Structure 1
Amino acid sequence: MPISPAAALIIIDMQNCMANPAAGQRNNPDAERRIADLLTAWRRTEAPIVHVRHISRSPRSLFAPGQRGAAFQDAFLPLDGEHVVEKNVPDCFIHSGLERWLHVRGIGRLVMVGVSTNNSVEASARTAGNLGFEVRVVSDATFAFAKPDYAGTPRSADEVHLMALANLDGEYATVVDSAAVLACLDD
Protein backbone atom coordinates (compact mmCIF):
# COMPACT_ATOMS: atom_id res chain seq x y z
CA MET A 1 0.00 0.00 0.00
CA PRO A 2 1.56 3.27 -0.97
CA ILE A 3 1.29 5.77 1.87
CA SER A 4 0.52 9.23 0.63
CA PRO A 5 -0.45 12.54 2.17
CA ALA A 6 -4.03 11.27 1.79
CA ALA A 7 -3.34 8.53 4.40
CA ALA A 8 -4.08 9.39 8.01
CA LEU A 9 -2.43 7.74 10.98
CA ILE A 10 -5.12 6.93 13.56
CA ILE A 11 -3.64 6.38 17.06
CA ILE A 12 -6.26 4.77 19.29
CA ASP A 13 -6.43 5.07 23.08
CA MET A 14 -2.73 5.45 23.88
CA GLN A 15 -3.63 6.77 27.31
CA ASN A 16 -1.92 6.38 30.67
CA CYS A 17 -4.27 3.71 31.98
CA MET A 18 -3.34 1.39 29.10
CA ALA A 19 0.26 1.38 30.34
CA ASN A 20 -0.82 0.50 33.88
CA PRO A 21 0.12 -3.10 34.83
CA ALA A 22 -3.31 -3.38 36.48
CA ALA A 23 -4.79 -3.38 32.95
CA GLY A 24 -3.69 -7.00 32.69
CA GLN A 25 -1.30 -9.29 30.87
CA ARG A 26 -0.71 -8.00 27.35
CA ASN A 27 1.20 -8.88 24.22
CA ASN A 28 3.44 -6.89 21.87
CA PRO A 29 5.69 -5.24 24.47
CA ASP A 30 7.32 -3.21 21.67
CA ALA A 31 4.02 -1.82 20.36
CA GLU A 32 4.63 1.63 21.86
CA ARG A 33 8.00 1.81 20.12
CA ARG A 34 6.40 0.83 16.78
CA ILE A 35 3.64 3.42 17.27
CA ALA A 36 6.24 6.07 18.10
CA ASP A 37 8.22 5.15 14.96
CA LEU A 38 5.09 5.56 12.84
CA LEU A 39 4.16 8.82 14.57
CA THR A 40 7.64 10.22 13.90
CA ALA A 41 7.43 9.19 10.25
CA TRP A 42 3.99 10.75 9.83
CA ARG A 43 5.15 13.97 11.44
CA ARG A 44 8.20 14.04 9.18
CA THR A 45 6.02 13.73 6.06
CA GLU A 46 3.41 16.13 7.48
CA ALA A 47 0.66 13.59 6.74
CA PRO A 48 -2.54 13.77 8.80
CA ILE A 49 -2.53 12.38 12.33
CA VAL A 50 -5.58 11.65 14.47
CA HIS A 51 -5.21 10.98 18.20
CA VAL A 52 -8.19 9.13 19.68
CA ARG A 53 -8.91 9.30 23.40
CA HIS A 54 -11.51 7.25 25.24
CA ILE A 55 -13.46 9.21 27.83
CA SER A 56 -15.70 6.97 29.92
CA ARG A 57 -19.20 7.82 31.05
CA SER A 58 -18.53 5.94 34.31
CA PRO A 59 -16.97 8.09 37.06
CA ARG A 60 -15.21 4.99 38.47
CA SER A 61 -13.43 4.18 35.22
CA LEU A 62 -9.72 4.79 34.72
CA PHE A 63 -10.87 6.57 31.54
CA ALA A 64 -13.11 9.01 33.45
CA PRO A 65 -12.60 12.70 32.70
CA GLY A 66 -10.03 14.28 35.00
CA GLN A 67 -8.38 10.96 35.90
CA ARG A 68 -4.65 10.65 35.18
CA GLY A 69 -5.42 7.42 33.33
CA ALA A 70 -7.53 9.28 30.76
CA ALA A 71 -4.64 11.53 29.69
CA PHE A 72 -2.51 10.70 26.66
CA GLN A 73 0.79 8.98 27.41
CA ASP A 74 3.63 11.51 27.20
CA ALA A 75 5.11 9.87 24.09
CA PHE A 76 1.80 10.32 22.26
CA LEU A 77 0.80 13.85 23.18
CA PRO A 78 -0.77 15.56 20.18
CA LEU A 79 1.07 18.49 18.64
CA ASP A 80 -0.66 21.65 17.44
CA GLY A 81 -2.43 20.88 14.21
CA GLU A 82 -2.93 17.19 14.96
CA HIS A 83 -6.58 16.24 15.25
CA VAL A 84 -7.94 14.88 18.55
CA VAL A 85 -11.08 12.76 18.73
CA GLU A 86 -12.79 11.92 21.99
CA LYS A 87 -15.07 8.91 22.17
CA ASN A 88 -17.03 7.16 24.89
CA VAL A 89 -17.70 3.91 23.06
CA PRO A 90 -15.05 1.63 21.54
CA ASP A 91 -15.66 2.78 17.94
CA CYS A 92 -13.95 6.11 17.18
CA PHE A 93 -16.43 6.89 14.40
CA ILE A 94 -19.54 6.90 16.63
CA HIS A 95 -20.68 10.41 17.66
CA SER A 96 -17.21 11.86 17.05
CA GLY A 97 -17.36 13.65 13.69
CA LEU A 98 -14.29 11.69 12.53
CA GLU A 99 -15.87 10.44 9.31
CA ARG A 100 -16.79 13.98 8.27
CA TRP A 101 -13.36 15.34 9.28
CA LEU A 102 -11.68 12.75 7.04
CA HIS A 103 -14.02 13.28 4.08
CA VAL A 104 -13.69 17.08 4.19
CA ARG A 105 -9.92 16.63 3.83
CA GLY A 106 -10.18 14.04 1.06
CA ILE A 107 -8.62 11.34 3.24
CA GLY A 108 -9.60 7.85 2.09
CA ARG A 109 -6.75 5.78 3.49
CA LEU A 110 -6.29 5.03 7.19
CA VAL A 111 -3.46 3.37 9.08
CA MET A 112 -4.66 2.28 12.53
CA VAL A 113 -2.53 1.59 15.58
CA GLY A 114 -3.13 1.45 19.32
CA VAL A 115 -5.12 -0.52 21.82
CA SER A 116 -6.82 -2.73 22.30
CA THR A 117 -6.75 -4.83 19.18
CA ASN A 118 -9.94 -6.73 19.96
CA ASN A 119 -11.90 -3.75 21.24
CA SER A 120 -11.41 -0.17 20.05
CA VAL A 121 -9.07 -1.00 17.16
CA GLU A 122 -11.31 -3.77 15.83
CA ALA A 123 -14.52 -1.77 16.28
CA SER A 124 -13.04 1.29 14.58
CA ALA A 125 -11.48 -0.67 11.71
CA ARG A 126 -14.76 -2.49 11.03
CA THR A 127 -16.68 0.77 10.79
CA ALA A 128 -14.00 2.42 8.67
CA GLY A 129 -14.03 -0.50 6.25
CA ASN A 130 -17.82 -0.48 6.11
CA LEU A 131 -17.75 3.27 5.41
CA GLY A 132 -15.50 2.67 2.39
CA PHE A 133 -12.14 3.74 3.78
CA GLU A 134 -9.06 1.79 2.75
CA VAL A 135 -7.84 0.57 6.14
CA ARG A 136 -4.52 -0.87 7.26
CA VAL A 137 -4.18 -2.21 10.81
CA VAL A 138 -0.57 -2.46 11.97
CA SER A 139 -0.13 -5.79 13.75
CA ASP A 140 3.00 -4.92 15.72
CA ALA A 141 1.72 -1.43 16.64
CA THR A 142 -1.41 -2.77 18.32
CA PHE A 143 -1.83 -4.90 21.40
CA ALA A 144 -4.44 -6.76 23.41
CA PHE A 145 -4.95 -8.11 26.91
CA ALA A 146 -5.54 -11.69 28.03
CA LYS A 147 -9.16 -12.59 28.70
CA PRO A 148 -11.38 -15.65 28.84
CA ASP A 149 -13.45 -16.53 25.80
CA TYR A 150 -17.24 -16.87 25.92
CA ALA A 151 -16.96 -20.46 27.19
CA GLY A 152 -14.71 -19.33 30.04
CA THR A 153 -11.50 -20.72 28.57
CA PRO A 154 -8.58 -18.41 29.38
CA ARG A 155 -7.02 -16.92 26.24
CA SER A 156 -3.59 -15.35 26.15
CA ALA A 157 -3.10 -11.79 24.97
CA ASP A 158 -1.49 -13.16 21.81
CA GLU A 159 -4.52 -15.36 21.11
CA VAL A 160 -6.92 -12.45 21.64
CA HIS A 161 -4.76 -10.19 19.45
CA LEU A 162 -4.37 -12.70 16.63
CA MET A 163 -8.08 -13.52 16.53
CA ALA A 164 -8.96 -9.83 16.33
CA LEU A 165 -6.52 -9.37 13.44
CA ALA A 166 -7.99 -12.44 11.73
CA ASN A 167 -11.49 -10.97 12.14
CA LEU A 168 -10.37 -7.83 10.28
CA ASP A 169 -7.94 -9.02 7.62
CA GLY A 170 -9.36 -9.23 4.13
CA GLU A 171 -12.85 -8.10 5.04
CA TYR A 172 -12.63 -4.74 6.81
CA ALA A 173 -8.92 -4.02 6.59
CA THR A 174 -5.55 -5.30 5.51
CA VAL A 175 -3.24 -6.31 8.32
CA VAL A 176 0.37 -5.20 7.84
CA ASP A 177 3.42 -4.71 10.04
CA SER A 178 5.16 -1.44 10.81
CA ALA A 179 8.20 -2.25 8.66
CA ALA A 180 5.98 -2.56 5.59
CA VAL A 181 4.27 0.75 6.33
CA LEU A 182 7.56 2.55 6.94
CA ALA A 183 9.00 1.09 3.73
CA CYS A 184 6.06 2.56 1.79
CA LEU A 185 6.71 5.96 3.31
CA ASP A 186 10.33 5.81 2.16
CA ASP A 187 9.41 5.02 -1.47
Structure 2
Amino acid sequence: MRIKGTSFAAFSILGGMTALTISACSSTATWKDYSSAPGKYSVSMPGTPKEETKAIPAPGGEKLNMEIAQLDLGKEAFVVAFMEFPGESKPPIPIQQLMSTAIKGAVASSINGKVSNEKETEVNGVPCRDFQATGKYKSKDASMAGKFCFTGNRLYQVLAMGENTGKAFDDKATKFLASFKITDKS
Protein backbone atom coordinates (compact mmCIF):
# COMPACT_ATOMS: atom_id res chain seq x y z
CA MET A 1 0.00 0.00 0.00
CA ARG A 2 1.32 3.41 -0.85
CA ILE A 3 0.38 6.70 0.75
CA LYS A 4 1.15 9.41 -1.78
CA GLY A 5 4.22 7.63 -3.15
CA THR A 6 5.69 6.23 0.07
CA SER A 7 5.54 2.61 1.14
CA PHE A 8 3.64 2.08 4.39
CA ALA A 9 6.49 -0.17 5.53
CA ALA A 10 8.21 3.06 6.49
CA PHE A 11 5.54 3.67 9.13
CA SER A 12 6.72 1.36 11.88
CA ILE A 13 6.09 2.20 15.49
CA LEU A 14 9.71 2.69 16.39
CA GLY A 15 10.36 4.85 13.37
CA GLY A 16 7.74 7.27 14.66
CA MET A 17 8.05 6.70 18.39
CA THR A 18 11.12 7.34 20.47
CA ALA A 19 9.50 7.60 23.90
CA LEU A 20 10.58 4.16 25.07
CA THR A 21 13.33 4.13 27.63
CA ILE A 22 15.29 1.27 29.04
CA SER A 23 16.72 2.66 32.24
CA ALA A 24 18.55 1.32 35.23
CA CYS A 25 15.59 0.34 37.39
CA SER A 26 13.06 -2.44 37.03
CA SER A 27 10.11 -3.70 38.99
CA THR A 28 8.19 -6.88 39.35
CA ALA A 29 4.52 -6.69 38.58
CA THR A 30 1.48 -8.88 38.36
CA TRP A 31 0.47 -9.97 34.89
CA LYS A 32 -2.79 -8.36 33.81
CA ASP A 33 -5.04 -8.87 30.83
CA TYR A 34 -5.49 -5.80 28.66
CA SER A 35 -7.85 -5.38 25.74
CA SER A 36 -8.44 -2.65 23.22
CA ALA A 37 -11.95 -2.31 21.77
CA PRO A 38 -10.83 0.08 19.00
CA GLY A 39 -7.75 -2.05 18.27
CA LYS A 40 -9.72 -5.29 18.39
CA TYR A 41 -7.01 -7.14 20.34
CA SER A 42 -6.16 -8.50 23.76
CA VAL A 43 -2.82 -9.19 25.43
CA SER A 44 -1.35 -9.95 28.85
CA MET A 45 1.30 -7.60 30.30
CA PRO A 46 3.27 -7.53 33.57
CA GLY A 47 1.40 -4.40 34.68
CA THR A 48 -1.04 -1.80 33.39
CA PRO A 49 0.01 -0.06 30.17
CA LYS A 50 -0.20 3.64 29.45
CA GLU A 51 -2.41 4.44 26.46
CA GLU A 52 -1.69 7.21 23.99
CA THR A 53 -2.33 8.26 20.43
CA LYS A 54 0.50 9.60 18.30
CA ALA A 55 0.06 11.35 15.00
CA ILE A 56 2.60 9.94 12.59
CA PRO A 57 3.47 12.29 9.73
CA ALA A 58 2.75 10.94 6.27
CA PRO A 59 3.89 12.34 2.94
CA GLY A 60 1.83 15.24 1.66
CA GLY A 61 1.20 16.63 5.13
CA GLU A 62 -1.25 13.93 6.14
CA LYS A 63 -1.08 12.34 9.56
CA LEU A 64 -1.94 8.79 10.54
CA ASN A 65 -2.97 7.99 14.11
CA MET A 66 -1.07 5.26 15.89
CA GLU A 67 -2.79 3.89 18.99
CA ILE A 68 -0.27 2.69 21.55
CA ALA A 69 -0.49 0.69 24.78
CA GLN A 70 2.94 0.85 26.41
CA LEU A 71 4.28 -0.56 29.65
CA ASP A 72 7.76 0.68 30.59
CA LEU A 73 9.33 -1.17 33.52
CA GLY A 74 12.76 0.41 33.33
CA LYS A 75 15.00 -2.36 32.02
CA GLU A 76 12.22 -3.67 29.82
CA ALA A 77 9.22 -2.39 27.90
CA PHE A 78 6.15 -4.05 26.38
CA VAL A 79 4.23 -2.33 23.59
CA VAL A 80 1.25 -3.02 21.37
CA ALA A 81 0.46 -0.47 18.71
CA PHE A 82 -1.80 -0.41 15.72
CA MET A 83 -2.62 1.95 12.93
CA GLU A 84 -5.17 1.95 10.16
CA PHE A 85 -4.13 2.89 6.65
CA PRO A 86 -6.58 4.81 4.47
CA GLY A 87 -8.08 3.39 1.32
CA GLU A 88 -8.89 -0.04 0.04
CA SER A 89 -5.75 -0.75 -1.98
CA LYS A 90 -3.61 -3.76 -1.24
CA PRO A 91 0.14 -3.61 -0.59
CA PRO A 92 2.25 -3.64 -3.77
CA ILE A 93 4.43 -6.49 -2.47
CA PRO A 94 3.60 -9.72 -0.61
CA ILE A 95 2.51 -9.00 2.96
CA GLN A 96 5.25 -11.15 4.55
CA GLN A 97 7.90 -9.25 2.59
CA LEU A 98 6.33 -5.96 3.64
CA MET A 99 6.31 -6.94 7.33
CA SER A 100 9.92 -8.18 7.12
CA THR A 101 11.01 -4.81 5.73
CA ALA A 102 9.10 -2.97 8.47
CA ILE A 103 10.64 -5.18 11.18
CA LYS A 104 14.17 -4.52 9.98
CA GLY A 105 13.50 -0.78 9.97
CA ALA A 106 12.04 -0.88 13.48
CA VAL A 107 14.98 -2.87 14.85
CA ALA A 108 17.56 -0.61 13.22
CA SER A 109 15.89 2.59 14.44
CA SER A 110 15.18 1.42 18.00
CA ILE A 111 18.14 -0.66 19.13
CA ASN A 112 20.54 -0.07 16.24
CA GLY A 113 20.42 -3.81 15.85
CA LYS A 114 19.95 -6.70 13.52
CA VAL A 115 17.24 -9.32 13.24
CA SER A 116 18.62 -12.71 14.26
CA ASN A 117 15.51 -14.78 13.59
CA GLU A 118 12.19 -14.18 11.84
CA LYS A 119 9.42 -16.41 10.58
CA GLU A 120 5.91 -16.38 9.16
CA THR A 121 3.21 -17.01 11.75
CA GLU A 122 -0.43 -16.16 12.29
CA VAL A 123 -2.75 -15.02 15.05
CA ASN A 124 -6.37 -16.09 14.75
CA GLY A 125 -5.90 -16.64 11.01
CA VAL A 126 -4.26 -13.23 10.47
CA PRO A 127 -0.83 -13.26 8.77
CA CYS A 128 1.97 -12.25 11.12
CA ARG A 129 5.74 -12.26 11.22
CA ASP A 130 7.59 -13.04 14.48
CA PHE A 131 11.17 -11.95 15.07
CA GLN A 132 14.02 -11.72 17.52
CA ALA A 133 16.79 -9.13 17.40
CA THR A 134 19.77 -7.86 19.33
CA GLY A 135 21.51 -4.51 19.38
CA LYS A 136 22.43 -1.59 21.60
CA TYR A 137 20.32 0.96 23.43
CA LYS A 138 22.19 3.80 25.14
CA SER A 139 25.44 1.76 24.99
CA LYS A 140 23.85 -1.27 26.66
CA ASP A 141 23.27 -4.64 25.03
CA ALA A 142 19.58 -4.93 24.24
CA SER A 143 17.17 -7.57 22.96
CA MET A 144 13.90 -7.21 21.12
CA ALA A 145 11.27 -9.80 20.28
CA GLY A 146 8.01 -9.12 18.55
CA LYS A 147 5.42 -9.75 15.94
CA PHE A 148 3.90 -7.64 13.22
CA CYS A 149 0.44 -8.62 11.96
CA PHE A 150 -1.60 -7.21 9.11
CA THR A 151 -5.35 -7.56 8.53
CA GLY A 152 -7.58 -5.42 6.33
CA ASN A 153 -5.85 -2.04 6.52
CA ARG A 154 -4.62 -2.47 10.11
CA LEU A 155 -1.00 -3.08 11.06
CA TYR A 156 -0.28 -4.40 14.56
CA GLN A 157 3.15 -4.11 16.15
CA VAL A 158 3.68 -6.17 19.30
CA LEU A 159 7.10 -5.60 20.88
CA ALA A 160 9.06 -6.62 23.96
CA MET A 161 12.38 -4.80 24.44
CA GLY A 162 14.90 -4.88 27.21
CA GLU A 163 18.45 -4.99 28.39
CA ASN A 164 20.02 -8.38 27.86
CA THR A 165 19.11 -9.80 31.24
CA GLY A 166 18.89 -13.42 30.12
CA LYS A 167 16.21 -16.01 30.64
CA ALA A 168 13.97 -13.87 32.88
CA PHE A 169 13.39 -11.31 30.11
CA ASP A 170 13.15 -14.00 27.43
CA ASP A 171 10.42 -15.78 29.42
CA LYS A 172 8.44 -12.53 29.88
CA ALA A 173 8.76 -11.69 26.19
CA THR A 174 7.57 -15.17 25.21
CA LYS A 175 4.58 -14.99 27.57
CA PHE A 176 3.65 -11.50 26.35
CA LEU A 177 3.88 -12.37 22.65
CA ALA A 178 2.02 -15.67 23.04
CA SER A 179 -0.86 -13.90 24.80
CA PHE A 180 -1.57 -11.49 21.90
CA LYS A 181 -4.93 -12.22 20.25
CA ILE A 182 -6.79 -10.39 17.52
CA THR A 183 -10.42 -10.36 18.64
CA ASP A 184 -11.98 -9.12 15.38
CA LYS A 185 -10.34 -9.31 11.94
CA SER A 186 -12.64 -6.75 10.30
Give the TM-score normalised by structure 2.
0.28
The structure where helix makes up a greater share of residues is 1
Higher relative contact order (CA 8 A, sep 6+): 1
- Relative to the length of structure 1, the TM-score reads 0.28
